[in-house]
Structure 1
Amino acid sequence: MELDGAGLTCAQVHEAAYDGARVTIASLDRARAAWSTAQELTGPVYGRSTGVGANRGVILDKPGLDLLRSHVCGAGPLIPLARARGMLVVRLNQLLAGGSGIDPAVLPVLAEAINGGFTPPIQTYGAIGTGDLSALATTALCLLGELPWHPESPAAPAPHFPFAPEDALPFISSGAATLADAAIACHRLRLLLEAVVDVAAMSFTAVGASAEPLAAAVQEARPHPGQAAVAARLRGLLTQELATRVQDPYGYRAFAQVHGTVVDALDRATAAIEIDLNAAAENPLISGSLAWHNGNFHSVPVALALDALRAALVQTAQLSTARLATLMDPAYTGRHPFLADRPGASGALILEYVAQDALAELRHLATPVTTGVAVISLGTEDHAGFATQAARHALRCLEPLEIVLACERTAALRALNTPTPDRPLTDDLTASRHALAPHPPL
C-alpha cells in the first residue's frame, strides 16, 4: 500500500490494520519542504520554542524531550494490535501530507515499524478529540527506546529514531488513533449495512411483502441518494412484485427511506474521516515560509458525523426488530405463532428477546457525545470535540447491530424453510452472525 498523504481511505486503513498490508512511501517531498521551512523560523513557535497549553507563553531556551515523557499517561486495557497499527498508518500518511515541520527521517522508520509488526502499547482512555497525545507520545518513546513496544511485537531488533526536541510536538499533535478507529468502524459498518438489504430481502419473501414501495417512480419522487440506491438493490433481490396486502408495516414499506438515510449518514461520516486522514491538520502548520497557529486539530466534523451515524443505526435496527415481529405473526407468515412446528410450541420466540436486548445497547451507544464540554489546561483549552468517544462508540455499535440483524436472518430462514421442533437456537444465531460479518474481532 503506497502512502502519499492524499489518497488514504477508510477501507485501506482497515486493510493495513487487519490484513497486514505493507506500506511504502511515495515521496517525502512535502515533509522535507515543511522541515526545511521550520529550520528557518524565528520568533516564538508553539511547541518548538515555547511550552504547550497554558504554558504557550513560556519561552524555552533549551527545549528537551520532556513533552513526550510528560504526555505518556493512559488508562484502561490496551487497545488491540490492529487498531494501534491503524493509528501508525494514519499518522504516517498525515505526516507525508506535509505541514508538521518534523524531521522527515522519522517517516521511513515509522514505515519500518508498521511493516515489521511493531506496535506501541496504547491504553484505551486518554483523549477527548483534541489530539491523541498520550497514544502518540507513547509511540515516540518506543521509537526512542525509552519504552518497550507492545508485548506481542516481534523479538527482532526494534526500529529506532533519535527525536530532536523540536520534533516532539509535530509528532504527537494528531488525532490519528481516533481517526483509525473511526475509519475501521465505518468500513465494517458499510459491509454490515449492505448485508441488511440481503436480510430484508429474505423477510420480504417470507411474509410476501409488496415491492411496490421500492418502485423507481417512488424513489424519483423523493430523490434522496441512499433511499434510491437501497430500493434499487432490494428490487434486484426480489423475484417478483408481491402484493398480498394493500399496505405493509413500516418495516417493509419504509425500508428504503429509513435504511437509505443510514447509508447517507455513513457516506457523510466516511467523507469527513477521509478528509482528515489526508489532511495536514497540524498546529502550528508550517506552510509557505511561516508557522500558522490554528485549530485544525479540532475533531468536531468527525464527531458530529459519527453522532449522526450512530443515531441512524438505531433506526435501521428498529425496523429489523419490527420485521422480526412480523415473522413471528401467523397473519404475515401463514405459519404457527413464532414459527413453531406445532401449536403451543415456542419456536423462535426467544430471538425477539435477544434482538431487543441488543437494540437497547445500540440505543445507549447512540447518545451524542458532542453535547459534552471540557475546559482544561488552566482554561486555555475550553472546548473539545470528543470524536475519540464517538469513534469508540461506533466500533461498539457493530456487535449489537450485527446481533439484531442475525436474529432477523435466523427467523427469516426458519420462515422460508420447514419449521423444526423446539431446540437451542444459539448455533443458528452464531451461523447467521458469521454470515453477516465474517471478520476478525475488533
Structure 2
Amino acid sequence: MIRVDGRTLRCADVVTAARTGGPLDIDVSIAALRAAEHAWKLADELSTRRVVYGRTTGVGANKDDTVAHSTDHGLRLLRSHAGGSGDPMPNGQVRAMMLIRLNQLLTGRSGISPELIGALADAVRTGALPLVHRLGAIGTGDLAPLAETALALTGERPWLTGHVPPVPVQAGDALAFMSSNAATLAEATLAAMRLDTLTRASHAIAALTYVALDGNPEAYATPVHEARPHAGQVACAAEMRRLLGMHQTPKPGRRIQDPFGLRAFPQVQGPALDAIHYLRDVLAVEINASTENPMISTAHGDAYHHAHFHTAYVSTALDQARATVHQVAELSVARLGDLVEPEFTGLRPFLAAGPAGSSGVMILEYVAHDALTELRQAALPATLGTAVVSRGIEDHASFSTQAARAATAACSAYQQVLACELVAAVRALRMREADLVELPVRDAFETASAVLEESVEDRPLTGDIAAAVGVLDKLARI
C-alpha cells in the first residue's frame, strides 16, 4: 500500500505506480484531505475580497484582466490549455503523474475543491487512465498534460482505460490543478531510478571484466581512496572490493598499470553516483512539494503569489546526472575494447573461436559505440536555452521537461552499452575457465551465464544483447 499524505511519497512509490498496470492500492490521508478542504474554503473566501491570480484574473499576460470568480472562467482555462500534441504519453508516466499530482494536492495549499481531489484519487485507485499527450510543457508547469487530465475528470475528455464518474469544476479549480510539473517529475523520477539501477549493475559488470583481464587491485585499495575521499568514489571502490573479495591484501595483477577502464573506474563512477543521489534528493522534495501559484496558506489566512512552478533544481540535476553517466558509459566501451584485445585477455582477437578470421564478438564494439553516441546526444545540457512566452511576461524556462525526456533516452542507450560489455565479459570468463568460486561476483557471472548462449561460434548476437539487458536489474541487487 502506498501512503499518500502530501509529505511521505517516495521515488520508489512512483516507480511502483508506473509499473502497476491496473488498480493501485493507496491509503489517502484523511487529515490531509481535511487540510485541503480548509484551503479550498479559504481560497473561495479570499477571492471575494482581494485579487487572486487565476481566480479573479486571467493568467500569463492576462494577469491584469479582472474576471468573475466562476466555474465558467475555470472551464475556459482548462479548455484553452488542454492543447497537448504529439504521441500519447506512456501509460506508466501517466500513472506516475497522477499519483504525484494527488500527493502534491494533499499538501493542502492548492485551494482546490475536495471533489476534484476525490475524483483524482479514485482514478489512481482504480487504474483509470486519461488520454494525455506528450508535448506541451517547458519546465514551468505541465499545463497541457494536467489540463487534459482535469477535463477527463470532468467528463469532457476521453479515457484510455477505465473511467471515474465526472465531477464539476469549481471556481478556482483550473489553475490550481494545472500549477504543477507532475508529468515532468514522473518521467524524471522513473529515469532517475533506472539510472540508479544501471549504475549499481555496472559495478558487477566492471568486476567481471576485471577478473577476465586480471586487473590490478591497487586501484581500489582503501588507502588510495582515503587520500581523496569523495563520497561516490569511496563507495564505488568499496563496492568493487566487496565484489572481488578484497578483504585482505590481494595478489598483484598482471600489469602495474591497468587501462583507464579499470584503473579510473571509481574516479569516474563516483561523480555519477553522487549526481544520481543528488537527483533523487531533489525529486524527493519535489514530489512532496506544494507548487501551486498562488499558494493558499491556511496558517496565515492568505494567498501568496510566487514561482514554485520553475524547476531549475530538477533540470540542472538531470543535466548533471546525464553528463556523469555518459562518462561512465565511455569507460564501459573502453573495457569492451580491452576484452577483444589478446594482449589483455590472452585469448584470440575478438574472443573468437573456430576457423582463422572468425569475428567473435567484433560487432559488439559497433553496437556499443552506436549506443554511446546516442547517449552523448542525450547528455547535452537542456538548460543552456530559454524561452520567452506570454507576451514577455514569462521570460525564462528551465526545460526540465526536455531534460527528463533526455534522461529516459540516456537510460535506454546506457543499458545497451552495459549489455555489450556483459556479453563480452562472460564469454571471456568462459573461454578462460576463470576461477570465481570464492568471489562474490560469481553470482553475477552465474546470473548472466544462465541467460546467455554458450556457443562461441560466429552467430548473431542480438539475442545475447537483449538477454543481457534483461538481467541488469538482477545484477544491481547482487
CA–CA distance in 1 between the matches of 2:59 and 2:148? 18
Instruction: Describe the shift of the 1:412–1:59 C-alpha distance in structure 2 as closer, same or farther (beyond 3 A).
Output: same
Distance 1:428 1:134 in 2: 41
Note if contact 1:133-1:173 (Cα within 8 Å) is conserved in structure 2.
yes
Alpha-carbon deviation of 1:327?
A: 0.2
| 3-state DSSP of counterpart to 1:76 | strand
The one-letter code sitting in structure 1 at the alignment partner of 2:467 is A
Q: Which moved more, 1:383-392 or 1:414-423?
A: 414-423
Q: Does 1:435 pair with 2:471?
A: yes
Moved more, 214-223 or 332-341: 214-223
Match for residue 13 of structure 1? Answer: 14
Q: Secondary structure at the match of 1:286?
A: strand
**Equivalent residue for 1:341?**
353
1:338-386 Cα offsets, whole Å, 9 max, x none, are 1111542211111000000000000001111101110010100000010
The structural deviation recorded for 1:427 is 1.6
Whether 1:71 and 2:81 are equivalent positions in the alignment is yes
Give me the whole-angstrom Cα distance separating, in 2, the residues matched to 1:422 and 1:142: 54
Aligned pair partner of 2:25 in 22, 27, 34:
22
RMSD: 1.5
Structure 1 residue 421 and structure 2 residue 457: aligned? Answer: yes
Shift of 1:174: 0.6
Structure 2 counterparts to residues 356-367 of structure 1, below 5 A: 356-367=369-380
How far did residue 249 of structure 1 move?
Answer: 0.8
- Provide, for residues 250-307 of structure 1, a one-character-per-residue CA deviation record: whole Å limited to 9, x for no partner: 1101101111110100011111111110011111011121111000110111000001
Report the secondary structure of 1:165's partner residue: coil
> Match of 2:51, as an amino acid?
P
* Structure 1 residues 153-232: aligned runs within 5 Å: 153-154=161-162, 158-232=164-238
| Aligned residue-pair number | 435
Name the SS of the counterpart of 1:61 in structure 2.
Answer: coil
Q: Distance in 2 between the 1:332 and 1:281 partners?
A: 55
Q: Is 2:357 the counterpart of 1:352?
A: no
Structure 2: which 5+ residue stretches go unaligned? Answer: 432-454
The CA deviation at 1:95 is 0.5
How far did residue 38 of structure 1 move?
Answer: 1.1
Distance 1:220 1:159 in 2: 61
CA contact (8 A) 2:134 2:145 kept: no
Contact 1:38 1:286 in 2 (8 A): yes
Residue 332 of structure 1 aligns to which amino acid in structure 2?
F
> Counterpart of 1:77 in 2: which secondary structure?
strand
Q: Secondary structure at the match of 1:105?
A: helix
Distance 2:231 2:392 in 1: 43
Q: What is the DSSP-based 3-state SS (H/G/I as helix, E as strand, rest coil) of the residue aligned with 2:172?
A: helix
Which stretch has the larger CA shift, 16-25 or 260-269? 16-25
SS in 1 for 2:146: helix
Q: Which moved more, 1:20-29 or 1:284-293?
A: 20-29
Any conservation in 2 of the 1:25–1:108 contact (CA below 8 Å)? no
Name structure 1 gaps, 5 residues minimum.
none
Shift in Å at residue 24 of structure 1?
2.0
Local SS of the residue matching 2:303: strand
CA contact (8 A) 1:24 1:111 kept: no
- Contact kept? 2:39, 2:110, Cα under 8 Å: yes
Q: Does 1:33 align with 2:38?
A: yes
Q: 1:277 maps to what in 2?
A: 287
The aligned amino acid for 2:338 is: T
Contact 2:342 2:348 in 1 (8 A): yes
Instruction: Name 2:57's counterpart in structure 1.
Output: 50
Could you report, residue by residue, the CA deviation over 1:72-115 in whole angstroms, capped at 9, with x for unpaired residues? 11111101111101100000000001211111232222111012
Aligned residues of 2:36 and 2:111 also touching (Cα < 8 A): yes
Where do 1:263-274 residues align within 5 Å? 263-274=273-284
The one-letter amino acid paired with 2:377 is H
Q: Could you tell me how far 1:40 is from its partner in structure 2?
A: 2.3
Instruction: Give 1:338's aligned amino acid.
Output: F
**TM-score, reference length from structure 1:** 0.96
Letter in 2 for 1:25: V
Percent of pairs identical after alignment? Answer: 47
- Contact 1:303–1:391 (Cα < 8 Å) also in 2: yes
